[in-house]
Each structure stands twice: as structure tokens, then as C-alpha cells.
Structure 1
Amino acid sequence: MTTPTPSSSHVAEDTHGKLEKTHLRLGFVALSDVAPLVAAKVLEFGHSHGLTLELCRQPSWAAVRDKLLSGELDAAHALYGLVYGVQLGIGGPQADMAVLLVLNRNGQGITLSNRLTQAVKEHGSLKAGLASLNRVPVFAQTFPTGTHAMWLYYWLAAQGVHPLRDIQSVVIPPPQMVDALAEDKLDGFCAGEPWHAVAEARRAGKTAIATSDIWPGHPEKVLACRRDFVSLYPNTARALVQTMLEACRWVDTREHRSEISAWLAKPEVLNVPREVIEPRLVGIYEGAQFAKPPLAMSFFDGGKVNYPRLSDGEWFLAQYRRWNLLRDGDSAGDAAIAAGINQTSLYREAAALCDVEIPEETRVDVLFDGQTWGGNAGK
């Protein structure tokens, strides 16, 4: 999914001036929530803003991190928590990072092996089911400070399972998780779709919970870059946010999700059959046993999805302290950390140019264990 690099003499303009850079390399990992980037490339939403996009599939989130830091990638589809981890120096080498916008909410899950699924059913709880295995259970997530690690830890802890003492947590790239589950190397994993659907299609495991049941409307993937990309190329960064807002708005309809599924299925993107990708991308979870239907992955919802709200970022900081990734201390400075990462001013400029409404800054959410979250500013 590459395009020729435009000549250096070609400099486009937006309403705020010439673009400093017109050819952008965007990284991604093989997950269904890369749909906005794929739509932006397939439909060339960037052209109307003077941008040519090149999509670059990466084998893991660590590779995304490394290539963002080296400058080989200009921006990337990234785990929200990856950006915060790198900023804090606990997710790899420290670097000042930026979240340009949120690409999606919801759409992830936790899958258990067939053996553990049956043990939970027989013993009545996850904790008892794990104890019946008579060994240290192994769960996979995708990056130590990433969203999947945090959803997994939160879910386990709410059921009396300590994620740092009672299980072994390992990092595996999402496309490798189903094989590891099928080979009995894992008892469960947390990742994005389509890998839960793939696990069920291969009868390797069962989806135990969708992450929208843990935190309805939770933030998930973001468009990330180094912060100096924004300072060096402010017009380009604004044009990129405009481009991705238009792509998110396009993908958010059911008809277009069905259409983009065919592109996601291609070998250079997910390399998974369309009939496995499409149902959960449009919100159909056939075969999975849920108390209530999961919320569908959301990409736009009138702009409510995409605003990089500071409290969303602060939640990850709170979880890092909870799990000893950060030293426990005063969280009063968390809003300032989030304000440095989340490019709200840039987003507001781009959203205004795209006629996208800005949602309320303050939002209080209720998680599945009854805990509420609205960020430190909302406490």
C-alpha cells in the first residue's frame, strides 16, 4: 500500500499556509481498528488537503514505537497507552510524544482458552477456574503500558486475580496470539479484533468479555507522532488530523464498514478472511456468550470519539501507579502531562475546518465494577 514520493518541489497549502511536508509514512499493526487509515489511503482523503499517505504495516507495537522514535514513520495508528508509556520512559526510550486524535473507542476483547472457559463454567468464577489449572496461568497482551495490558489487568483484579502475582503476563504481537492459544501456550489474551473472531473461527478459544463491557466508550487507538513532528510541521499535522477526521466519519457507517472490510482482508493489511472481519466490525457477535451485546467499535459518532480528552490520558497514568509502573505519588500533575501529550488545540483547529463539533471536555464514565472516572480535574 505504497505510493510514489512526490517531488520536493510540490508544496501544498491549507488555509493556514503551505504544508511543510506532503508525503507521510503512517505505521499500523494488523487490527480491525486500523480501518480509518486504510480508508484514508484507499479513498485518498489526504489529497484534498495536499497529503499523500503511505501505509506501512509493522510486526508489533514495539516496532511502531521504534520507527516513530527513529523518524522512519511520521505518525502511526497506536495504542493510547504506548504513547503515554514512551512519554514517561516506561514503555521504551523516553521521548516527547503527541496524540493527534482518537481513532476509535471500544472494539477489543479478552479471549480464554477452551480449557479455561470450561473450568470457569464448572467452578463458577474466574479465580476458581484459574486455581483448578494447577499451574501459573499465562495471559498475553500487546505492550507493557498499552491499552490491552490495562484492560486485562483491570478485569482480572475486579475478579480477585492479581495480575502481577497470580498470572504470568507476556507480550505477543496480536497476529500471533491465536496460534499461541491453539498450541496451548496461553490461557487467554487481550487484544483487538479480528483476533478474537479468528480464535473462535478456529475453535481455539471463546471471547469472555468485550472491553466495552469493562469501560463503555473507552479510548483505544490514537493517531500518534513525536511531539517535534507537530512543532516542525504544524500545517502538515493539522492537515493530517483533517484527513483522519474525514476518514473516521466515512468509516463510521455500517455500509462503509462492510465495504472497508474487503480492504482490511487483503494480505498486506490483516490477511484474514472478510467474513471473519466484517461481523464484529459492524457490531455482530454471533456465537459469543455475552450478558448483553457489546458496544460496536466507534470511529466518529459526530466527533465524540475523536477529541483527545485529557481525562482519557490521565486514566492510564492512574493505572500505571496502580500496577507499580510509576512510583506512587501526587497525581495533581497528571493533567499537565496529558495536556502536553494530547494536542487539543491542534485538534480544535482541524475540527473547525472539518465542521466537526467538539464534545464536552468533562465526562464521567462508570466502569463495570462500579468505579467512576472523570480525570483528576473532575474529582
Structure 2
Amino acid sequence: MTNYIKRICSVLLLPMALLLLTSAIPVNNGEGTGNEDVIRIGFIPLTDCAPIVIAKELGLFEKYGVKVEVTKEASWANVRDKILTGELDGAHCLFSMPFSVYTGVGGKAGSEMKIAMILNNNGQAITLSNDFCGKVGFRQTNKVASVVAAKLKAEKEVTFAMTFPGGTHDIWLRYWLAAAGVSQKTSKIITIPPPQMVANMKVGNMDGYCVGEPWNGLATKQNIGFTEIATQDIWKHHPEKALVVNKAFSETRKEDLKNVMKAVLEACKWLDNRANRKKAAGIIGKPQYVNAPADVIEARLMGDYNLGCDQGTQIYTDDYMLFHRNGDTNFPRKSYGIWFMTQFVRFDYLQAAPDYKAIADKLIMQDLYLEVAKSLNVKIPADDMKPFTLTLDKVTFDPNKPDDYLKLARK
């Protein structure tokens, strides 16, 4: 009789247990709840991964109700692949990478990576090996062509490195070479992950490179190269890194994405307080993040550039690496995406002009950013799709007339 009662109880209790179990499983209604699976955000070891790292370290993701895991990635190609497959929900990413991938320059054409917001302006640089020391100085772009020509005559080729085809570092390098009058057909341009730049220059694998900090500052500290130009000298307040996300994640967990963006925006504000930058340098310099000396990170974060090659120090006062600028930094402008795509055509990555505006509309989540910014009372700039002028060559770009720009740039 006792066993019979036990069997009856088991039959009655099993449906109740199943009901309790299934009621505890979160339902994905397409908006996200903040209580679902962990959100995975990748980063490359660069100083400008700071908004992601600081949002994590200060507990800002938790403040906005999202569970975020940050992961160090090996290369930009690795970031691209993991975002496209959904292994990463998002990442600290080169602003121009989604356009490069979508147009087939740096990935399978038509692959969508979505830009949620910009993370920083400025703060990259072009480092030259000590072979150029005394021949080309800081911002002496006009002297580069003759030195490169002499080196070509002696050694057959000159090699420069960047970090991803069509990425921001690639375009800064090519733009600088063009301004210097150096034919890119005579220069070898290779791809090297950011943390490997210094080691490769040490063994003579390249004559120069373009990358983000701290890998330019570290080259000067180790006396293996010097800073020829900072990217803010090419284009003051240029877009650099962005929060880029997986397409499905942006569509099915929109509320979670908005909360991630709120946390990152707050981190950007915190980082633009100069009083916080020493602490920030100490945090992001740790082995699990950038794994570089905090003093090198801090110096360039503060705009204090030891140039190397006995050139002294350059102090940037209002155009060092910035993360917020009262909202001017973080607004993802479609005009900037159009500018980068025109460079793809200018530098022969693309043989024909893409549909610039349609691609910018597809990849930049401007409406979502506006919603988040308004909820935090962050200022919205009113300059998108208006002409802007680059610092290095004083050339004005009108995003409404990219073909006119190309006619002049390719002469």
C-alpha cells in the first residue's frame, strides 16, 4: 500500500515540477529583458578599448541590468568572424570595419555588422623605424617621399603595416602616404594585429606602421621607432573605434543593447574627466586587458607624447584621445561612413562606387543611438551629412557629393 501511494504522489507531483521549471525559463519576446544569457563583448588590446573595460570594472553594466562578459581577442579578423557568427554579441571595433566587410574589402560582401555608437576620437599614430630618424621628423610629411625613394633604391621595397584591410588604421596610413606623395603601388602594406606591432618592428619586419595606442608610445619608450604624426594631425576629432554588434543580437535583444549602450556612454563620460585618467591607465594596462605599462598608456591618454628620435615632447591640449566630448564623440554619423567608403574607391579597394548612403543607412543604428542618448540627456550633434575638412591637407569632403570629391582626390 505504501509503494502504491508513493507512485500516485510521483504521478501527481511530476506535472507540477515541470510547470515550475518551465515557468522559470525566460521568454525571448524580441526586446530583451536584461535577465537572459550573458552578453559577450570583445575587445582588442588597445587604449581605446577603455569604454568597454571601464564599464565592466566600474559595475556600470550591472547598474543598467545587463550581464556582460568582456573577452580579449587576438585580431580584428577574429573580431569580425565572431561578431558575424554570433560568438560575440558585440565588440570594440574599428569604425570603418563594418563598411569594409559589407563592401567585400575585408570580408564576405553583404555581411552585416551593426554600428551602435562611436567610442572615441583621435589617439592613433604612425610610427617610423629608427632608419628614418634624422631624415623625417614629427609632422614632416613633405620629407617622406624622398626618404622612401632613397630606401627603395637601396633595398627594393619599403614595408608599412596596418591592422585590417579598409580599417581605420589602414586608411590613415594610406591617406598619409598619399599626402606625402608616396605611391602605394611601390610600397608593401601588410596586416599585423595591434599588440604585435612593436615586436615586428624590433626584428625589422616593417619600416613603419599605423596603429592605436599604446603601441606607438611603447615604440618610443623602447627606442625602436618614433612618432611621425598622430591621427588627430590628419583629421582632428576623427571617428576611431565603435561599439559594433551582431545583427541578430541588435534585433532580438534591443532593450539589452540599449542598456549596454547606456553603460558604455557613462564610461565614456567618466573617461573624459582628466582626473580619472591615471586610474583608467592602471586598469586597462593590466595583463587581462592591454598588458602594457600604465605610464605609457597614461602619458598619451593625457596628451603628453614623447615623440622619440630626440624630438622631445608634443602636448595635445584639446585633441588627444577623447571618449565623449559632451556627446559629439559618440553620435554615429552616416557622413563618416560615406567618407571611408570613398577612400575604398580612391585607394582601389573597390573598382566602382557602392551605394554609399544606402549602406550607411543599413549599418549605422542612428535611431537607436538617438533613443539612448535622449534617455540620458546626452546632446545630439546636428552636423551629420554636412561638409567637413581634414586637418592634414585641408581638403573638404561633402558627404552629399562623394563622386565630386573622388574626381579631385584621384587627380
CA distance in structure 1 between the partners assigned to 2:142 and 2:48 by the alignment: 33
CA distance in structure 1 between the partners assigned to 2:66 and 2:235 by the alignment: 35
TM-score normalised by the chain length of structure 2: 0.84
Q: 2:75 aligns with which of 60, 76, 81?
A: 60
**Who is 2:389 aligned against?**
366
User: Matched residue of 1:325: which SS?
Assistant: coil
TM superposition shift of 1:132:
1.7
Partners of 2:90 and 2:246 within 8 A in 1? yes
TM superposition shift of 1:119:
3.4
CA distance in structure 1 between the partners assigned to 2:120 and 2:24 by the alignment: 35
Change (3 A) 1:345 1:22: farther
AA of the residue aligned to 1:106: N
Partners of 1:215 and 1:365 within 8 A in 2? no
Comparing 354-363 with 307-316, greater Cα deviation is found at: 354-363
TM superposition shift of 1:376:
2.1
User: Matched residue of 1:285: which SS?
Assistant: strand
Comparing 178-187 with 292-301, greater Cα deviation is found at: 292-301
What aligned pairs does 1:36-115 form with structure 2 within 5 A after superposition? 36-94=51-109, 95-115=111-131
Can you list the C-alpha shifts for 1:44-101, whole angstroms capped at 9, x where unaligned? 1111221121110011101111111121111000001211111222211241121000
Change (3 A) 1:278 1:240: same
Q: 1:234 aligns with which of 245, 254, 258?
A: 254
**Who is 1:307 aligned against?**
331
CA distance in structure 2 between the partners assigned to 1:343 and 1:124 by the alignment: 39
TM superposition shift of 1:139:
0.3
TM superposition shift of 1:117:
2.9
Partners of 2:306 and 2:312 within 8 A in 1? no
Partners of 2:305 and 2:314 within 8 A in 1? no
What aligned pairs does 1:9-48 form with structure 2 within 5 A after superposition? 9=24, 18-19=33-34, 21=36, 23-48=38-63
TM superposition shift of 1:253:
1.0
Number of equivalent positions = 367
Partners of 1:27 and 1:73 within 8 A in 2? yes
| Residue 204 of structure 2 is aligned to residue 180 of structure 1 | no
| Residue 286 of structure 2 is aligned to residue 262 of structure 1 | no
CA RMSD of aligned residues (A): 2.4
Q: 1:152 aligns with which of 170, 173, 187?
A: 173
Change (3 A) 1:359 1:11: farther
**Who is 2:144 aligned against?**
126
Percentage of pairs with the same residue: 38
CA distance in structure 2 between the partners assigned to 1:291 and 1:366 by the alignment: 27
AA of the residue aligned to 1:254: R
**Who is 2:349 aligned against?**
325
Comparing 283-292 with 295-304, greater Cα deviation is found at: 283-292
Partners of 1:110 and 1:188 within 8 A in 2? yes
| Residue 245 of structure 2 is aligned to residue 225 of structure 1 | yes
CA distance in structure 1 between the partners assigned to 2:26 and 2:126 by the alignment: 46
TM superposition shift of 1:292:
6.6
User: Matched residue of 1:217: which SS?
Assistant: coil
CA distance in structure 1 between the partners assigned to 2:163 and 2:142 by the alignment: 28
AA of the residue aligned to 1:369: D
TM superposition shift of 1:374:
3.9
CA distance in structure 2 between the partners assigned to 1:377 and 1:342 by the alignment: 19
CA distance in structure 2 between the partners assigned to 1:159 and 1:366 by the alignment: 18
User: Matched residue of 1:307: which SS?
Assistant: coil
Can you list the C-alpha shifts for 1:249-303, whole angstroms capped at 9, x where unaligned? 1111111121111111111111111111100012111345499744210100111
Q: 1:142 aligns with which of 159, 163, 167?
A: 163
Partners of 1:22 and 1:51 within 8 A in 2? no
Partners of 1:44 and 1:52 within 8 A in 2? no
CA distance in structure 1 between the partners assigned to 2:312 and 2:400 by the alignment: 32
TM superposition shift of 1:9:
5.0
List gaps (5 residues or longer) in structure 2.
1-22, 405-411
CA distance in structure 2 between the partners assigned to 1:36 and 1:179 by the alignment: 26
CA distance in structure 2 between the partners assigned to 1:196 and 1:49 by the alignment: 35
TM superposition shift of 1:326:
1.5
List gaps (5 residues or longer) in structure 1.
1-7
CA distance in structure 1 between the partners assigned to 2:98 and 2:302 by the alignment: 27
CA distance in structure 2 between the partners assigned to 1:328 and 1:290 by the alignment: 44
Change (3 A) 1:353 1:42: same
TM superposition shift of 1:152:
0.3
User: Matched residue of 1:302: which SS?
Assistant: helix
Can you list the C-alpha shifts for 1:106-141, whole angstroms capped at 9, x where unaligned? 000000001123333699710111122122110000
CA distance in structure 1 between the partners assigned to 2:25 and 2:134 by the alignment: 61
Partners of 2:141 and 2:179 within 8 A in 1? no
User: Matched residue of 2:211: which SS?
Assistant: strand
